[in-house]
Structures are given as C-alpha cells and as structure tokens.
Structure 1
Amino acid sequence: MFIGEYRHSLDNKNRLIMPAKFRDELGSSFVMTKGLDNCLFIYSMEEWRNIENKLKTLPMTNKDARAFVRFFFAGATECEVDKQGRVLIPANLKEFAKIDKDVVIIGVSTRLEIWSIDEWNKFNNDANISYEDVAEKMSQLGI
C-alpha cells in the first residue's frame, strides 16, 4: 500500500528521484500514465494488469468508455528506476501534468500520483474542496 507525501525536483534531464519506500513496492518496472486532476498515475505491473482487465470489460459501443480507454492507454509508458533511484518523466506526461521542476509524489493506496507543486497547491487550496465535505459525501456512499 502506498501512503505518504514527498517533495522532490526534476533534474535537467527530466529525471525524478523516486522515494526508496515507493521503489521497493513498485518493483523493477511499473507503468506511468495520465491521471485525473492534472496529475500522473503510477501503478505497479500487478496493479496495472488489474486495471487493464477491468477496462477490457467496458463496452466498446460506449463512446465515453472508448475515449477513456484511449486517453488512459495512449498516455501510458513502462518505466524503470535507474541505479540512482531516478525515473524519467516523458515529455508528453510532463507537459500534461504541467510539471516544471518541483513535484509532489503522493501515495494513494494502490497507486502513486505525481503532481506539479503548483497544481498540488491549487488542489489543496481549492475553495470547492473541503476534507470534511468529502468525508461526509463518502459516508453517504457507505465508506
């Protein structure tokens, strides 16, 4: 399970140091793709296969399902951490997530999210998002 929040900076070759705690759980290779809310998602290979299997069940006749599957898979890339514990953020994903230099890496149960520091701050300061309000909505769903 991925938990925690870490702040790092990209080097001049768009490489990011992956926290050791996360590297151990990710394994030797993993998948990075476009996420929601202007961030990137990272999945272990095992979790990626689980998601892939779920997405295969979506009806091809549904326009939104086709669009989501295209978006999700087209942005995906298999990654590895180098010997210094760094992972390369591809240019298309860096642009999508509005990443310049400083990022926040957060653990979200079965995935990691990489946020530009500016987008993370906007998300956390959004007047429409309140931790208490979200918790109340989740309780209404039985969570």
Structure 2
Amino acid sequence: MLIGEYRHALDDKGRLFVPAKLRDALGEPLVVTRGLDQCLFVFPPAEWQRLEAKLRALPLAQSSARAFVRLLLSGASECVPDKQGRILVPPALRAYAGIDREAVWIGVGNRVEIWAVERWTRYVEEASEAYSRIAEQIVDLGI
C-alpha cells in the first residue's frame, strides 16, 4: 500500500527524487499524469493497466468520457527513476500542478499524488475543517 507524505525539491533540470519508501512499491516504469484537484497522479504499472482497461470501456459517444480520457492520457508520461532515484517530470505536468521548486508526494493507497507545496498545504487546511463530517458521510470506518 502506498502511504505517507514526503517533501522533495526539484533540481534545475526538473528532476524529482522518488521517496525510497515509495520507489519499490511503485515499480517501473511508473506513469505520471494529470490528476484531479490540480495535482499529479503517479501509478504503478499494474494499476495503470487496470485504469487503462476501465478507460477503454468508457462510452466513446459520451463527450465527458472523451474529454476525461483525452486529458488523462495526453498528459501521461512513463518514467523510470535514474540511478539516484529521480524522475524527470515533464514541464507541461509541472505547469499543470503548479510545481516550481518543491513538491509533496503523498501515498493514497493504489497510487501516489504529487502536489505543489502551497496547494497541498491549502488543501489540507480546507479539508481538515470538514474531516470528521466527510468521514461520517462517506463511510462507516468502524473505529
């Protein structure tokens, strides 16, 4: 399971260190693409294949399905960490997520998200206010 929060700086070439605790679980090649909420999604190969199968099953005649597939797949990039454990995050993806010099990796179960530090901080502040209420609405956690 992909969990945790890790902060790393991008180097001058746009490379970002993949946290060691996530690297093995992500495997290679990992796939980075546009996510929701202005972050990037990072998928291990097996999860990416499952998602691709679901995308192929979407109705071609539905405009919202076509738009979603286009945006998700056109932004996708296969990345293999270099010997230092870094991946090159394409400029278009960095721009989409607002990532300039520092990023936050967060594990969310079957994928990882990469956020601009400022956006992640703002998101946590806003979501924290409603955390208990959201939990009550979506699931009985049994705790």
- Compute the TM-score of the two structures, normalised by the length of structure 1: 0.93
By how many angstroms is 1:139 displaced? 2.3
Once the two structures are superposed, the pairs formed by residues 1-143 of structure 1 within 5 Å of their partners are 1-126=1-126, 130-139=130-139
Residues 137 and 45 (structure 1), Cα distance of their counterparts in 2 relative to 1, 3 Å cut: same
Counterpart CA distance in 1 for 2:96 and 2:135 is 29
What residue ranges of structure 2 are gaps of 5+ in the alignment?
none
What residue ranges of structure 1 are gaps of 5+ in the alignment?
none
Counterpart CA distance in 2 for 1:42 and 1:139 is 25
Residues 113 and 127 (structure 1), Cα distance of their counterparts in 2 relative to 1, 3 Å cut: closer
Residues 128 and 85 (structure 1), Cα distance of their counterparts in 2 relative to 1, 3 Å cut: closer
Percent pairwise identity: 49
Counterpart CA distance in 1 for 2:74 and 2:18 is 23
Mean alpha-carbon deviation: is it higher for 102-111 or for 19-28? 19-28
Q: CA RMSD in A?
A: 1.4
Give the secondary structure class of the aligned counterpart of 1:99.
coil
Mean alpha-carbon deviation: is it higher for 123-132 or for 112-121? 123-132
By how many angstroms is 1:129 displaced? 5.3
Counterpart CA distance in 2 for 1:69 and 1:60 is 10
By how many angstroms is 1:28 displaced? 2.5
**Aligned residue pairs, count:** 140
Give the secondary structure class of the aligned counterpart of 1:115.
strand
- Compute the TM-score of the two structures, normalised by the length of structure 2: 0.93
Counterpart CA distance in 2 for 1:113 and 1:127 is 16
By how many angstroms is 1:74 displaced? 0.5
